[in-house]
Amino acid sequence: MIDQVARRCITVQRRGSAADDILSWTPVQLTTPVMTQSKSLPAPEGWTLQSHEETFSGRAGPYYFREEGPAPGVGFFARPHHANLGGFVHGGALLTLADMALFDICRRKIGLFRAVTVSLNSEFLRPGKVGTFIHASGETTAIGKSILFARGLVSADDKPLMNFSGTLKRLD
């Protein structure tokens, strides 16, 4: 049984094969406003909170976006729910940020598009600390007709935490 949240986020139109099922997902209008103001933590200067509470990123975040400035990008405040058992920011939280940054980096170059992640590579450089603002920015390295490549850096307090590169496959 698909739960109520999943039904609001996607509809699946079955056409025959598993590949068709994946490619036929149609986004549904989200009920949460795209741009909101944080009630618990104010956005850092130059950053805007973007929240879709019904989606994975809405539950994993919240995430902030900076459209201009020295390094446009995506970021989040590392809270206790982002921690691993060792008390540092979980690697999965950093990888989620990197994945979101791949899409943001490519969107800045080519505009809005639908895509899926084909690959995401990373090297962890140092642990992230709960209580810090962690952000990612980067650049496209190649743009083809249907494949996009980008790389970037996840940082906090002017220190690199993780570098990443990835490939996206356009669906539109």
pLDDT at 30 over 70: no
84 and 135 fall within a common domain: yes
pLDDT > 70 fraction of the chain, expressed in percent and rounded: 76
pLDDT tens track for 93-112: 999 999 999 999 999 889 88
16 and 88 fall within a common domain: no
**Is the separation of the CB atoms in 111 and 49 below 8 Å?**
no
**Is the separation of the CB atoms in 119 and 96 below 8 Å?**
no
124 and 51 fall within a common domain: yes
**Number of domains forming the structure of the chain:** 2
pLDDT at 22 over 60: no
- The confidence score (pLDDT) of residue 42 equals 78
Half-sphere exposure in the Cβ direction for 42 (13 Å, CA): 3
- The confidence score (pLDDT) of residue 126 equals 97
49 and 14 fall within a common domain: no
Domain extent for 26: 1-31
The region of weakest confidence among 34-43, 51-60, 64-73, 155-164 is 34-43
**Is the separation of the CB atoms in 78 and 132 below 8 Å?**
yes
pTM for the full predicted model? 0.75
pLDDT > 90 fraction of the chain, expressed in percent and rounded: 56
54 and 122 fall within a common domain: yes
Q: Provide the CATH number for the domain around residue 149.
A: 3.10.129.10
113 and 57 fall within a common domain: yes
pLDDT tens track for 1-17: 334 433 333 333 334 44
Query: Which stretch of DSSP H or E encloses residue 134?
Result: strand 133-143
- The confidence score (pLDDT) of residue 164 equals 99
Separation between Cα atoms, residue 72 and residue 68, nearest integer Å:
5
Identify which has the larger pLDDT, 10 or 50: 50
Q: How confident is the model at residue 40 (pLDDT cuts 50, 70, 90)?
A: low
CA dist list (Å): 73 to 30, 31, 126, 137, 169: 23, 24, 20, 5, 20
Q: Is 91 helix (H, G, I), strand (E, B) or coil?
A: helix
